[in-house]
Amino acid sequence: MVGVSQGQDDWQRAVLGDVGVGVGVSGQEVSPAPPPLATPPTPVQAQAAQAPYPSAPAPVQAPAAAAVLGPDARALVSAKPRSGESVLGRGIGTLRRLFTSSAAAEVEQATRVGQQLQQPVTTGRQIVVTGVRGGAGKSTLAALLGSVYAHYRPDPVLVVEADSTLGTLPVRLGVESLRWTVEDLARVVAPSMRFDQITGYLAELPEGGWLLPCTRGQIGAQVSWKSYEMVAVALRRYFAVTVVDCESLPGELARSAMAGAQARVIVAPATLEGVTSTRPVLEWMASLPRPMLPSTVVALVATSPDTVLDPAAATEYLAVDGVRVVAVPYDRHLAAGGAIRLPLLARGTRDGVAALAAEVLGRAVRE
């Protein structure tokens, strides 16, 4: 790996020192020890981009915390979370892999995906997740991507909610309560803030990483493009990867956020209506003066176990200008709702989401 530059070393000392992490003379972390999966990637450099920060933000009273799910809502679920695959399905899958696949090839593929997910980034990468309609699984996929990045990467990962339609992102991420929102943080954020000050405004996630929500569950809350831009630019230097759960297209915030991101994921339900309504969006993206398709991946999400859609034909139909299409299979754990637990996902779902996360991160790094 190429040696860490002096600028990166200074950033590490300034940011990681805020949270009590030692930095050696080479610029690499001394404690805690890196995970055994692979050599930890280079931490994110401080960015020179200037945000329209208020010169002297007025004191803002901390908003009251709001529970994501109250006791009455929690009482609605009486059973434990389901595994993404039935016992019979797991047995059949094991036999199929035993007789039709190579263990060495599977290990090689898993290693390659893991290395891609842990590749170093020199500046924070922002990935926008959107779609053309509600109920497509956009928030679920954003939660999955954020959880996968937080699982594989030792550097900070952030998930931002930029959809004011009372989505399911906080529930899917297993957050207990919310306090500060995008609009709230836009009123107080400043370039002089330390990393530990920034995380004080965020909700820490049980699976790793942090969340900045759009609302505290109230109807009518909105996020403006100006506030989103201010927060997105300010936080980019603190987090290696930021996943943005954006409003559905053709909303103004979605279009603007897509233009400012380094990579995009377009979520298409694996239905006839979902595929045919997604293609015009891809054609529009291909026609822009600054084409977005080279850094875009389409996630073809199966929402039912009984889909009649031909995956191969759908992939070919959506491959506008050669855009990459990654299938995410139906999963019982995801379909049941509630907080996502990565160990409960079916093997095919884990492999599909990891491949999607690796593919979109690779495109974000090259952007």
Domain borders along the chain are 1-33, 82-366
Average pLDDT over the chain, rounded to an integer: 81
What count of other Cβ atoms lies within 10 Å of the Cβ of residue 263?
26
Please check the confidence at residue 206 and state whether its pLDDT lies above 80. yes
CATH architecture of the domain 82-366 equals 3-Layer(aba) Sandwich (3.40)
The answer to whether the beta carbons of residues 122 and 44 sit under 8 Å apart is yes
Q: Which two tokens stand for residue 89?
A: 């399905």
| pLDDT band at 291; cut points 50, 70, 90 | confident
Specify which of 76-80, 125-129, 136-140, 226-230 reaches the highest per-range mean pLDDT. Answer: 125-129
Residue 318: is its pLDDT beyond 80?
A: yes
CA atoms of 155 and 35, how far apart (whole Å): 11
Residue of 167, 172, 326, 323 whose CA lies nearest to 246 = 167
Confidence of residue 233 (pLDDT cuts 50, 70, 90): very high
pLDDT at 63 over 90: no
200: tokens are 């004080």
Residue 318 CA to residue 114 CA, distance in Å, equals 27
Residue with tokens 């996943």: 243
Q: At what angle do helices 87-100 and 347-366 cross, to 10 degrees?
A: 70
Distance in Å from the first CA to the final CA of the chain:
20
Reference 82, options 305, 302, 306, 344; nearest CA is: 344
pLDDT of residue 102: 66
Considering only residues 268 and 291, tell me which one the structure prediction assigns the higher pLDDT. 268
Of residues 103, 63, 85, 34, the one with CA closest to residue 344: 85
Q: How far apart are CA 159 and CA 177, in angstroms?
A: 15
Q: List, for residues 80-139, the tens digit of each pLDDT value.
A: 777 766 656 656 565 565 556 666 777 788 889 999 999 999 899 999 999 987 778 899
CA distance 314 to 247: 24
Residue carrying structure tokens 């201010």: 230
The label of the residue with tokens 């992102």 reads: 169
Rounded-to-integer distance, Cα 191 and Cα 355, Å: 35
| Look-up of token digits 């609605």 | 76
> Residue 207 pLDDT > 90, yes or no?
no
Q: What is the pTM of this model?
A: 0.80
How far apart are alpha carbons 213 and 172 in whole angstroms?
Answer: 12
Q: What is the SS3 assignment for 253?
A: helix
For residue 59, the model assigns a pLDDT of: 60
Q: What is the mean pLDDT of residues 45-73?
A: 62
Q: Which residue has the higher pLDDT, 85 or 18?
A: 85
